[in-house]
Amino acid sequence: MKTPYCVLRSRSVCFQLYLFLFILVSIHSNAQDTPVKEKVISFSSMDEVPVEIHVEGKLTFETNALITDSNLLYVNVIDLFKQLKINCNESNLFNGLEGYIENERKLFSIDYTSNQIQVGNKVVNIKNSLHVEMGIRYIESCILSEAFGLTLILNPKSLSVKLTASFELPYVREIRIENSRNSIAKLQGHSIAVDTVIPRNYHLLKGGTVDWVLNSNQTVNGSTMNNVVLGLGAELLYGETNISINYNDNYRFNAQQLQYNWRWIDNNAKVIKQAQVGKISSQSIAFLESPVVGVMINNSPNTVRKAKGTYRINEYTEPNWTVELYINDVLIEYKVADASGLYFFNVPIVYGYTTLKLKFYGPLGEERTEERILNTPYTFMPAKTFEYTISGGVLQSETGTQYAQGNFSYGLNRFITLGGGVEYLSSIIESPFIPFAKLSIQPFSKLILNVEYAHEVRLKGLLNYYLTKSALVELDFTKYDKGQRATRFNALEERKVKFSIPFKLNQFSGFSRLNFNQFVYDSFTFNQIDFIFSSYYKKVNINSSTLINWIDERASFTTTNLSLSYRFNNGIVLRPSVEYNVNDSKISRYRTEIEKRVSKSYFSASYERFITAKNDAIFLNFRYDFDFARTGLSSFYTNRKLSFSENAQGSVAFGGGNKYVHVDNTSSLGKGGILFYPFLDLNQNGILDKGEKMVLLNNVRVSGGSAKISKKDSIVRVSNLNAFVDYNVEFSNTDLQNISWKFKYKSFQVLVDPNQYKRVYVPIISMGEMNGTIYITKGNETKGVGRITVKIYDYEGRLVKEILSEADGYFSYLGLMPGKYRISLDEEQLKNLNFECIPKTREVVIGISEDGDIIEGLDFQMTQLPAR
């Protein structure tokens, strides 16, 4: 039986339980009622904040936007479209905006009266997605995605917005077209738009570069040979002057060991753009047994003016050597030779007189240079353009043979170039003059035909055709006049067919080439087939080459070479190779080489066995690259003879500013450099005056060069640049240490002077800042007003900048050069809002200051006018 106490206690517990449930139900009911009220967006809960919009990695800008408590984003369409360069204007026919998007046929309109957006035939209702704040209309971002294909994703933590578009934005299109035009302009020799151009400076005598090479070879119980190469470079009589001497103590000195050349270039000249004096190169028809000492002039610029089409160079050097291709002293491409030494280039067809240079760099620091003058086989000119080349001199031989050549090229139209001229060689007594004519036809980029006729010497034809994008067929035919004496050791006819194709499939790539050569002589015909297959797969390179030779109907002689190169994870490279004699069905030679690179050092060892000659050869090599020199040691054992070799090479360039001397382990002869002097230009005269200080930069971007910034003197030094070549240099305000500092010119185009450093002053302006607040008073309450346009005019009344006040009425602008300015609010906007402001304008003076002058307190008071 329950006691009264238990009954009371039980009732108390029940009452408490009922009370708890009642409170819980009440709270739950209130919680359910609250969201119902908030389903309708309350604009009073919006915040106007600046957000940063990022567009596809191409553009970043800041604009004011409205963000709700639930992170919905509302943007100002006019401001957004203006930044993206989408055509958008206020309509004269209705209350809204109109323009076109994506293309001129896709028109759109935003009608604020009917609350709808029409894009083509699509209509989107914006009644619940439009908000007006201080006369500025904001539209919800999801509507922009639905109507225009502009997707904006808000990151509320960073207040940043990622914008993507379903079409190519006009701003992005402009960047793409500009980059394409800059690339085309560079290839065609036209200037790319920059802020300022630094032209060539001419001097009677200036600069100084020195190249040096030391080689020594010793054979145990044998001879010793020492070789010294010394080169000097300067600017003399307004032109590049290079002189070098190659001395070998085992040979008697002769004039051919002395190299000298003077070169002058002015691409702005009309009659003569290039001139050379000294040892010159010439693409002669006749065989020249010695170098020519003389003069060459032409009216072709040295810029790379690319025409359509390419031709292919594929030759051999040493295995794993690096080969660089230069056209008119501009590096176009570089390749690393494969395990057999094979390399190939697709050389672009270039207008006019062109020098093509190949530089070969070996792993031990060896350097070889081969230079060709490519007037043939492919000489094309722009339509209605005439260019000439005249050269002449004396062959550097005991006979003193005189040589001269004059040739011209004329672009009949885009597809046909006519050429011709006459060559003179005094050693051909019977007929020293050789008239010649040329015809080059390129009906489309994949086909090139060149025909050349040299009177009483030869008829030559060359056809270059790309079967596919990369498969090339080349037909070469030459017929020589019987008894001609201009060329020597030639067959009566030369017939050549070449087929080459590079290929790539996933991680497997390679190159194959098939050549057939036939040389017809009086008494026999010599035939040759050469097939090469080179492939790469990850760290493995395999090269196979087969050579077949035969004369008339006789049996052929065939050899095959197989080379392999493999790079281990530790950097060691193993390179075995073998040569197989097909006729004898046996191996005639094999070789194994191992190499290792560590930082600036290189080591290699190889063993080679010549089975037919019963001879062995062992090589050991070591190289170390100092900053000032490239050094190497090697030993060689063969035929029971042991030899040693030591070599070192480097260069010195003087005139680097502040007693700086540049040392390098590569050649500096014929090169140049630039010295940039960034300084704070307080009086804005562009000159580094006494009392103006140098500014230390963080970074400088140089196309085709590397900048070295000195913390000691703040000079930016760019070395090892090709002379007579324009280099584009870019500076960024973000690399300056003071936010008020701005570069007067952000981009430079500098023409490099030969064999010297060129001074370029980079003025930096200290900008001023002004700020203030726009207020509005309603009753007893004064608060800031956002989205009001503030206009800044200079002393002559020209508009300098338009800015918008922030949500709290604050406005500021950093970027005013020293001088007088007038500040006012946008009268048209005030009229539309039915406001006036006090004062109407404010006048300020930005003074000269290292840290930038700051003018504060430029406040404006807005007052509501009576309703009209």
Give the pLDDT band (50/70/90) at residue 168: confident
Whole-angstrom distance, CA of residue 272 vs CA of residue 459: 31
If asked whether residues 818 and 794 sit together in one domain, one would say yes
- The more confident residue out of 276 and 309 is 276
DSSP 694: B
Please state the rounded mean pLDDT for residues 139-163.
Answer: 88
Give residue for tokens 């009220």. 37
- Reported as half-sphere exposure (CB side, CA atoms, 13 A), residue 224 has a value of 6
Instruction: Give me the pLDDT at residue 158, please.
Output: 79
If asked whether residues 677 and 740 sit together in one domain, one would say yes
Q: Which of 148-162, 564-578, 643-657 has the highest mean pLDDT?
A: 643-657
pLDDT of 557 > 90? The answer is yes
Residue 116 lies in a domain: yes
Instruction: Give me the pLDDT at residue 33, please.
Output: 41
255-298 pLDDT tens trace: 888 999 999 999 889 899 999 999 998 889 998 988 899 999 99
Instruction: Give me the pLDDT at residue 77, please.
Output: 87
User: Of 834, 824, 821, 826, nearest to 864 (Cα)?
Assistant: 834
Those residues whose C-beta lies under 8 Å from the C-beta of residue 353, and which sit 6 or more positions away, are 274, 298, 300, 373, 375, 387, 389
Whole-angstrom distance, CA of residue 699 vs CA of residue 820: 33
- Output the average pLDDT for the chain: 84
Instruction: Give me the pLDDT at residue 868, please.
Output: 64
User: Of 746, 718, 750, nearest to 732 (Cα)?
Assistant: 746
Indicate the residue among 110, 140, 170 that finishes a domain: 170
- Range with the lowest mean pLDDT among 362-371, 548-557, 619-628, 759-768? 362-371
β 662-664/641-653 pair status? antiparallel
- Range with the lowest mean pLDDT among 279-293, 331-345, 352-366, 684-698? 352-366
pLDDT of 151 > 60? The answer is yes
pLDDT of 761 > 80? The answer is yes
pLDDT of 328 > 70? The answer is no
Give Rg (Cα) of the chain: 39
Distances (CA, A) of 162 to 577, 806, 824: 56, 22, 34
User: Of 108, 46, 81, nearest to 163 (Cα)?
Assistant: 81
388 touches 406 (CB < 8 A)? yes
Instruction: Give me the pLDDT at residue 349, please.
Output: 60
Residue 140 lies in a domain: yes
If asked whether residues 9 and 55 sit together in one domain, one would say no
Instruction: Give me the pLDDT at residue 772, please.
Output: 94
Whole-angstrom distance, CA of residue 669 vs CA of residue 208: 9
- Reported as half-sphere exposure (CB side, CA atoms, 13 A), residue 469 has a value of 2
Instruction: Give me the pLDDT at residue 867, please.
Output: 72
- Range with the lowest mean pLDDT among 88-102, 262-276, 714-728, 853-867? 88-102
728 touches 709 (CB < 8 A)? no
pLDDT of 368 > 60? The answer is no
Q: What share of the chain in percent tops pLDDT 70?
A: 86
- The more confident residue out of 698 and 469 is 698
If asked whether residues 797 and 833 sit together in one domain, one would say yes
Instruction: Give me the pLDDT at residue 41, please.
Output: 41
Whole-angstrom distance, CA of residue 577 vs CA of residue 559: 13
Give the pLDDT band (50/70/90) at residue 344: low
If asked whether residues 746 and 781 sit together in one domain, one would say no
pLDDT of 505 > 90? The answer is no
Residue 515 lies in a domain: no
If asked whether residues 308 and 392 sit together in one domain, one would say yes
195-242 pLDDT tens trace: 899 999 999 999 899 999 999 999 998 889 999 999 999 999 999 999
DSSP 431: -
- Residue 146's Cβ-count burial label (10 Å; 0-12, 13-18, 19+) is middle
User: Of 502, 503, 532, nearest to 516 (Cα)?
Assistant: 532
Parent domain of 63? 43-170
Phi and psi angles of residue 341, each rounded to the nearest 5 degrees, phi first: 100, 5
461-476 pLDDT tens trace: 999 898 887 888 999 9
How many degrees, rounded to 5, is the angle at CA 422 between CA 419 and CA 423? Answer: 125
360 touches 367 (CB < 8 A)? yes
Distances (CA, A) of 601 to 215, 341, 663: 19, 22, 19
Residue 541 lies in a domain: no
Whole-angstrom distance, CA of residue 201 vs CA of residue 208: 15
718-752 pLDDT tens trace: 999 989 988 999 998 888 888 899 999 999 999 99
Whole-angstrom distance, CA of residue 239 vs CA of residue 382: 28
User: Of 359, 314, 334, nearest to 543 (Cα)?
Assistant: 314
Instruction: Give me the pLDDT at residue 57, please.
Output: 66
pLDDT of 322 > 50? The answer is yes
User: Of 525, 534, 533, 586, nearest to 559 (Cα)?
Assistant: 586
Please state the rounded mean pLDDT for residues 133-145.
Answer: 84
Give residue for tokens 């993507």. 164
Residue 537 lies in a domain: no
Please state the rounded mean pLDDT for residues 582-611.
Answer: 90
409 touches 381 (CB < 8 A)? yes
Q: What is the DSSP string of 166-197?
A: SS--HHHHHHHHHHHHHHHHHHBTPPPP-SEE
Give the pLDDT band (50/70/90) at residue 130: confident
Whole-angstrom distance, CA of residue 386 vs CA of residue 419: 10
If asked whether residues 391 and 314 sit together in one domain, one would say yes
Residue 427 lies in a domain: yes
Please state the rounded mean pLDDT for residues 798-805.
Answer: 90
CATH of the domain at 775: 2.60.40.10
β 47-55/160-165 pair status? parallel
Distances (CA, A) of 154 to 51, 80, 220: 9, 15, 79
803-854 pLDDT tens trace: 988 888 999 999 898 999 999 999 988 888 888 899 999 999 999 988 899 9
Give the pLDDT band (50/70/90) at residue 793: very high
- The more confident residue out of 50 and 421 is 421
56-84 pLDDT tens trace: 767 788 888 888 888 889 998 888 888 88
Give the pLDDT band (50/70/90) at residue 38: very low
If asked whether residues 367 and 221 sit together in one domain, one would say no
Helices (H), 651-724: none
Indicate the residue among 749, 766, 783 that finishes a domain: 766
If asked whether residues 335 and 387 sit together in one domain, one would say yes
If asked whether residues 116 and 195 sit together in one domain, one would say no
Residue 483 lies in a domain: no
Q: Which of 21-30, 63-72, 577-586 has the highest mean pLDDT?
A: 577-586
If asked whether residues 279 and 146 sit together in one domain, one would say no
DSSP 28: H
Instruction: Give me the pLDDT at residue 14, please.
Output: 42
Instruction: Give me the pLDDT at residue 355, please.
Output: 64
Instruction: Give me the pLDDT at residue 351, please.
Output: 55
Buried b (16+ CB within 10 A) or exposed e, 453-485: ebbbbbebbbbbebeeeeebebebbbebeeebb
Report residue 231 as tokens: 């080169």
For residue 81, the surrounding DSSP H or E stretch is: helix 77-84
Report residue 845 as tokens: 């003076």
User: Of 646, 592, 579, nearest to 619 (Cα)?
Assistant: 592
Whole-angstrom distance, CA of residue 249 vs CA of residue 831: 93
Domain count of the chain? 5
774 touches 785 (CB < 8 A)? yes
Residue 560 lies in a domain: no
**Does the bond joining 576 to the residue before it have cis omega, within 30 degrees of 0?**
no
325 touches 348 (CB < 8 A)? no
pLDDT of 354 > 90? The answer is no
If asked whether residues 325 and 221 sit together in one domain, one would say no
Torsion of CA 5, 10, 15, 16, to 10 degrees: 100
Please state the rounded mean pLDDT for residues 501-522.
Answer: 87
Q: What is the DSSP string of 803-839?
A: EE--TTSEEEEEEEPSEEEEEEE-HHHHHHHTEEEES
pLDDT of 8 > 50? The answer is no
End-to-end Cα spacing for the chain:
89
604-626 pLDDT tens trace: 999 999 998 888 999 999 989 89
Instruction: Give me the pLDDT at residue 618, please.
Output: 94
